Every structure is written in structure tokens, then in C-alpha cells.
Structure 1
């Protein structure tokens, strides 16, 4: 349950919701106050001189401020009743137990210069920034794939090793996206077997950056294809977020021939649709960095329910003090 408050008073639920029954007592006090005021008004009308009452009506109107202390008191009691129910709110905290595999395409199309100086060089820069910004407690691994896939870094919190491996990426022939994903899944399974700190496997996520369609195998639905790997990831509850990187105008020079290598969004979109995660498209280095930053915010933090009662207690006490102050200023008792 999310209630329409904001800041420290924002609520996501209650730890002891039955304490909200105390609000019935507050409503009872409000009803009693209204009844008493109506009876008082009837007594005044019964014995008052009407001509005199009309002359003093403006002064009586000003005395409506006498209700302010009672109103503040009621609101403070309602606030304190909410505090008794132990309200909670959503809090984002850095993850300290998770596995992320960065899977980078190093096929020959990644040397296209539509993204200066070329796609692969830009991918290296953005990948290292992602490693630097990712929550320190998360284990980060690296898989590179061209015609085959290689686990370059097993999941680790050593960001220096990760960045050194990214610096060493070099282009290869062909594109085996499925092999890259299967290699990442194997690395996740291996680290789950040795990672402690919980009764369940550590949350895992794969970030796939690529620019083109899979070429090995040609059909992504084959046993080692990308779509098959995405289905395996879904079965293992590992989301795959994808970044399609490049522009429709990319070309590479192979044996003196200019070969078009337009970015392929469709394959990566389908991988995400099957496994879950988010899909991004980046046509330049700045967009690539923004995609990685968005992923870092999603992957690097988790939302938990934290205690929000202190803010409600402080607000209730402040309103109670305001009720007392208003009673002094209006020469009234609390409540009248």
C-alpha cells in the first residue's frame, strides 16, 4: 500500500496496522466536540437578545478562531495514532550481495567508425565507467564474444582487474551472442555455489552490449542460439538487459571492401522480451554512458521497507505544541 505523502512521511505500509483502530477514538472525539458546540450554540440562541446578538455578530465571527486549538489537537492525535502503527516507507540502499555479468560483443562490426573513434573503443570507455560506478559490493564479471565466447573475468569486486580486462578487448570474426550468454550463465552458477551471505542465491543480472545480429548460429532458436540462452536465463531467474550500440550507417573495411554493418535492435529487443530486463539503444558514446548509468541505478540498488514512524512522531509532537500555543493565543482551553 502506497499512500499519497512525500519525503520522510511517505508510506509503503504498516508493521502493526491494527493500531490504526485508535483513529476511531479520534473520530469519536471529533463527533463529541461537534455535538458540544451545537448544544452550546442552541443555548446561546435560547436566551440571547436577538438585536444585541446581531450587533455583536462580527465579534462572534472572529471567535471562530477558538476552534483552531481543537483542530490541531485532533490532527496531532491522528498523527500519533499513525505513528503507533509503525509506518514503513520504501528506502533505496546499495546492494552488497549480487552478481552482474557484462557481456560485450567484439565482432568485427565493432570497429565501425560511425561512433568515433570506433564502436569498440567507445564500448571500452563506457564499460570502465560502469565498473567504476557500480556499487562496490556487487561482484562484476566480463565475457567477450566474437566467433566464440571467453570468460575474461570471473565475478569479482576487484574493479582494477575488470578495467584491465576491458582495455584488452580486441575484435574477432563473427558473432556468437548465444555463446556469450551461456558463458555468463555458467559464471553466475559457479559463483552462486561459493557465495555465502544468504539462504537464497545472490541476485544476478546480465548486461549485453552488441551491435549486430547473431551469425553463429544463424537461427537464434537453435540449441546454442541467443533466444535459447535467453530462455535459459529466464528459467534461472537471471534478467538480461541489452544495449544495442551503433547507427544504421556503420560500415567496416574487410579486404578492401566497405561492408555495411547497421545496428540491429530487433535481436536484442527479443532477448530482453524473453528474459526480462531493460532495452537501451545508444547511437553515440554519451548515450551509451547514460544507458550504463541507468542500469547502474537499477542493478546497484535495492528497495527495502524502512521505519518511518520517527517523522510521524515528530509531526504529532509539533502539532500538539501548536495546539497548546494556539489555545494560549485565543484564550481557550484544549479542547474547548
Structure 2
């Protein structure tokens, strides 16, 4: 038996006491039986000590022993891996608003589908997460610094406007800078809260003062993984200044950015897939698995079994065991 899952395993020493009580009960029952058989007149024995119930008269005591076992486990402090909301974390949501996002290969358009999914993601995050928003095209703009105010984020998502070019690297740099600034403000004895960048884009980097791959390596050094979402299809087409242009998604670049930063790559070719990706990220970011107290079920079950033992004793023997 492993005691690694208990916070106070020394309470299991009480099992010795439980075993001793069970042994004493057996001995006492045998002694009482021998004393009763000393009566010479069996008919008098029947009148003085009426025939008692069979084996089931021992059921209340058996229940009581089981209750002691269950309560001992509860006292030992069992733990279990449980999903608990994060109390502190920083997430920067970085959304591509380049002109390719007006492609309608995802209905009603890439941008509108992205806005709906991003707002759902923001609303669904656990309250302890500080969420910020950055939009980028030819340059990156911090629209909302990390905050627990979801209203500020969703209102700015509604206001996203398209622009030319795609400066993915600059957007990552802006996200890292916002996280660093926020961390210095809220960081206490435990240091800045854990952070992550969620980068959603549909196209290849075209401009910028910092290459996306170099920025991803900076994120790796800072311990900030980037979850990249490549959104759209290979068949995207837009009209720019009267010209029809193909705007296929750039999965390879997004996959490499995630790899270099220590994050994860996600592919979303439809609005529904994008929603599922955001749901997955919400679970990963908003919750963490910890060893938490699991004694309550043992305590409840032990108490119920003890009550059943008392009730059974009163019904069968008109006394408490």
C-alpha cells in the first residue's frame, strides 16, 4: 500500500485499534456463549435468555467496524488529482486583422467568425485569468492590457478593423512586452504569474522589425509558450484594390512558431473548429491539475455507515452496539 496519496498517513495506526476491537468482540461473544451453556436446565435457559437472532445480530457491529475503517481513511487525508481554476495567470490574445481576414472561405468571413469565437473564449475563461488583447496587421496595437475585465476585451474584439500587411513578429514582441510590464506590477513574493500568448492568424508574415521565428525564440527564453491557431483554408480569396488574390493559410509558419516557443499548434478550417480550439485552450489555460483533498466522500460514507450500525442495533437488539 502506498501512502504517497495521503497527507497524514500516521492515522492508519488507528487500524490496529479497530482490529483489536474486532478481536475483543469475538472473544467476548465466545465467553458469553460458554457462560450461557453452563445452565443445566435448558428450558430455564430458554426463558431467562430467549433464543437470539442468528448471524445477522452481528451485522451492526460489522457495520460499525467498517465505519471506523472509512473514518480512519478520511483522517489520513486522502488526496486526488483534481481540476481546479487557476488563481493567477496572464494571457495575451493576439488577433490578425490583415486584409486576408475578409476572405469568405469561412462564413460569414474569417474576421467575423474569429470575433465570435474570440469573445466566447474571453467570456469562458476562469475569473482569475488576466486577459489582454492585441490586434496586428502592418503593426501591432495593444488594445487591452491584461485585466480581469472581460467586458473591455469583448468590446474591443467587436471593434477590430482590417488593415494591410502582416507583422506577426512585431505582434509577438508586443505581447511579450505587455506580459512583462504587467508581471512587474502584480508580481509578488512568488514572482510574476504564469503567462501564455494565444496567436490567431491566417497568413504568412510580410513585414515587421522582428521576425516571427526570432520572437518565438524570445518567448521560449522568457518561459512564455505561444499557442498558435492557423485559421482558414487553402482556398481563401480576397479582392484588394480590384485585384483577386489568393490568401491560403500558412500552417507551416504557425507550427514552427509554436514549436520554437514551446507552445502548441492548432489548425482551424471552419468557425466550428475555431470554437473547439478556443474551448480546448480555455480548459488548458483556465484550469490546472493539483493534488487536492479527497477526504469528504470517505467522511460522508463513514458517517452514514456508523448511523446504519446504530439503527441496525436498535432494531435488532434494542440497544446500541
Same fold (TM over 0.5): yes
- Which of 264, 270, 289 aligns to 2:250? It is 264
Give CA-to-partner distance per residue, 1:282-311, whole Å, 9 cap, x none: 222233223223322332234455444344
Deviation of 1:216 after TM superposition, in Å, equals 4.1
Matched, 1:13 2:9: no
Identify the residue that residue 93 of structure 2 maps to in structure 1.
102
1:253 aligns with 2:252: no
Corresponding pairs, count? 305
Which residue of structure 1 aligns with residue 305 of structure 2? 319
Normalising by structure 2, what TM-score?
0.78
Tell me the residue number matched to 1:153. Answer: 144
Report the equivalent of 2:66.
75
CA gap of 1:274–1:79, structure 2 versus 1, over 3 A, is farther
For 1:225 and 1:33, locate their aligned partners in 2 and report how far apart those are by CA, in whole Å: 79
1:334, distance to aligned residue in structure 2 (A): 8.2
C-alpha spacing 1:183/1:327, structure 2 compared with 1 (3 Å): same
d(CA) in 2 for partners of 1:153, 1:321: 57
Segment of structure 1 superposing worse, 96-105 or 141-150: 141-150
Q: 1:117 aligns with which of 105, 108, 114?
A: 108
Q: 1:246-295 CA distances to partner (integer Å, 9 max, x unpaired)?
A: 12221122344433222233332333334344443322223322322332
In 1: Cα distance, 2:213 partner to 2:182 partner: 24
SS in 2 for 1:193: helix
Deviation of 1:245 (Å)? 1.1
Are 2:136 and 2:167, in contact at CA under 8 Å, matched by a contact in 1? yes
Q: What's the counterpart of residue 295 of structure 1?
A: 281
User: Does residue 241 in structure 1 map to residue 232 in structure 2?
Assistant: no
- The 3 A distance-change label for structure 1 pair 15 and 121 is same
Query: Which stretch of the first structure deviates more once superposed, 139-148 or 65-74?
Result: 65-74
Secondary structure at the aligned position of 2:248 is classed as coil
Q: State the alpha-carbon separation in 1 of the partners of residues 127 and 183 from structure 2.
A: 18
Q: CA deviation at 1:314?
A: 2.7
Deviation at 1:190, TM superposition (A): 0.6
Name the CA distance, whole Å, in 2 between partners of 1:302 and 1:276: 18
Detail structure 1 runs of 4+ shifted over 6 Å in the superposition: 31-37, 332-335
Give the conservation status (yes or no) of the 8 Å contact 1:70–1:334. Answer: no
Contact kept in structure 1, 2:100 and 2:238, CA below 8 Å: yes
2:267: which partner in 1? 281
In 1, Cα distance between equivalents of 2:253 and 2:152: 30
Other structure's SS at 1:14 match: coil
Q: Give the Å deviation of 1:194.
A: 1.0
User: Mind listing any 5+ residue stretches in structure 2 that lack a counterpart?
Assistant: 35-52
Q: 1:2 to 1:200 in 2, by over 3 A?
A: farther
1:167 aligns with 2:158: yes
Matched, 1:191 2:177: no
Q: Which segment is superposed worse, 23-32 or 154-163?
A: 23-32
Distance 1:277 1:159 in 2: 24
Gapped runs of 5+ residues in structure 1? 4-11, 44-61, 218-222
Look up the SS of the partner of 2:106 in the other structure: coil
Cα distance, 1:182 vs structure 2? 1.6
Give the aligned partner of residue 227 of structure 1: 213
Tell me the secondary structure at the aligned position of residue 267 of structure 2.
strand
